[in-house]
Amino acid sequence: MNSLADQREDSETPDRHHTEQLLRELYAARASGNVAAVYDKFSPDARFRISGASHSTPVAVSANGAKEYRPLLAIMIKTFKLTDQEILSLVIDGAKAAVHWRAKIFSRLTGTTVLTELIDIIEIRDDRIGSYIEFFAPR
């Protein structure tokens, strides 16, 4: 029999199936360029971070809350087109998830396409993304 604390934790922890569905919808929306659908996956107070190394320079982006992350997501999705996106692994542990994925990323700024490996560390709050940290490296 579950204790009251276990029952409370279970009710606050996102359902694994729901978390996986949320994340798969996020990656599909991102690949299709659907900015509004991507926005919908994030909580209004979400923390958003991206860090990595491009071929020429390191990249670090940080935003807190919708007023900061929405413009960044819009620019990112409009600038970088994803093709051949593949989720290599998806690990869900309660309210936390890690996703290892790769995609060919076409930059509309440079006109080049680069196969890139990415790892995202995500926390779910109230059925939406509350924290999103992405690390990337071109192959």
Q: In this predicted model, what pLDDT tens digit does every residue of 48-67 receive, in sequence order?
A: 999 998 767 788 999 999 99
Range of the domain at 125: 4-138
pLDDT at position 54, please?
74
Bridge partners (DSSP) listed for residue 43: none
pLDDT at position 61, please?
94
Pure H helices in 1-139:
4-12, 16-32, 35-41, 66-79
CATH (domain of 134)? 3.10.450.50
Query: pTM of whole model > 0.85?
Result: yes
Q: How many domains does the chain have?
A: 1
pLDDT at position 14, please?
73
pLDDT at position 12, please?
58
pLDDT at position 53, please?
83
Counting as low any pLDDT under 70, the low residues of the chain are 1-13, 55
pLDDT at position 58, please?
85
Cα 52 to Cα 6, 15, 70, 130, 136, distances in angstroms: 38, 30, 20, 21, 5
